[in-house]
Amino acid sequence: MEKFIFIAFLDVMLASLLMFQSVICSSNFTDQVALLHFKSAIKIDPTNTIKGGNWTAEANFCEWIGVVCSNRKQRVTALDLSHMGLHGRLSPYLGNLSFLASLDLRNNSFYGTILIEISHLRRLKKLVLEDNQFAGNIPPNLAWCQNLEVMSLMMNRLMGSIPREFGTFPKLQKLYLGSNDLRGQIPSFLGNRSTLQVITLFNASLTSSIPLALFNRLLTSVILMDNYLSGSLPSDLCYRWHDI
């Protein structure tokens, strides 16, 4: 009996030691689980960087290629997997990376819809999904990411209209939506956003007259080529290209 109690006591000691250690490392298991789900949703990885690299539970996920963590809390703050030729859908677990500030998946072959779970990422400042094969509508809920400063969804297969909700980003500076199959009007509220510096809507099948509000002087670059637009442009408008 005494022996049994002693063993039980040891077990409790061991369990609390392990818990203590995980608090010290304070790496959030939720982030690791989310990244592993993200990995398993990738169907093709031509360079085998994710599927065959160190994206395994054996290595600390903060050191996985493309992953950046905050120093103190060991939470994922940036995920950059651009230019890797990845094919697959996004995993809804992506929405659990609650400290993510930058998501850059440009120039891959991600398909499916832009998941609504991305709108759970309230700390997101930069969302770059350009040059993929995302289809469907732009989720209006992306407007919940109130810290967004840069959003590029250009060069995909997105349809529908620019959500009305996009008028509510308090910090948005650059918005790239060109080369999609967007329809409808260019919403005039976009011109009301005093933080907005760049907006590109080229080749997006938008059909409407150009809202004059778009050309307030705070907007340094408006690129609207190749739309079925009517109306006239301000004569002093210059077209400039900005890098993200």
Ligand X SMILES: *[C@@H]1O[C@H](CO)[C@@H](O)[C@H](O)[C@H]1NC(C)=O
Return residues touching ligand X (CB under 6 A). Answer: 28, 30, 33, 53-54, 59-60, 63-65, 83-85, 92-93, 95-96, 98, 107, 117, 167, 179-181, 188-189, 192, 203
**Contact (Cβ atoms closer than 8 angstroms) between residue 156 and residue 181:** no
**Contact (Cβ atoms closer than 8 angstroms) between residue 215 and residue 192:** no
Q: Where are the alpha helices (DSSP H) in the chain?
A: 2-25, 29-40
For residues 146 and 168, which CB has a smaller minimum distance to ligand X in the complex?
168
For residues 4 and 241, which CB has a smaller minimum distance to ligand X in the complex?
241
**Contact (Cβ atoms closer than 8 angstroms) between residue 103 and residue 126:** yes
Residue 59 structure tokens: 């290595």
For residues 7 and 26, which CB has a smaller minimum distance to ligand X in the complex?
26
DSSP secondary structure letter of residue 230 = B
Cα dihedral sign for 66, 113, 134, 166? negative
**Minimum distance from CB of 9 to ligand X (Å)?**
26
**Minimum distance from CB of 21 to ligand X (Å)?**
13
**Minimum distance from CB of 188 to ligand X (Å)?**
4
For residues 95 and 163, which CB has a smaller minimum distance to ligand X in the complex?
95
3-state secondary structure (DSSP) of residue 164:
helix
Residue 127 structure tokens: 């969302």
β-strand pairing of 67-69 with 76-80? antiparallel
For residues 127 and 186, which CB has a smaller minimum distance to ligand X in the complex?
186
**Minimum distance from CB of 77 to ligand X (Å)?**
13
**Minimum distance from CB of 63 to ligand X (Å)?**
4
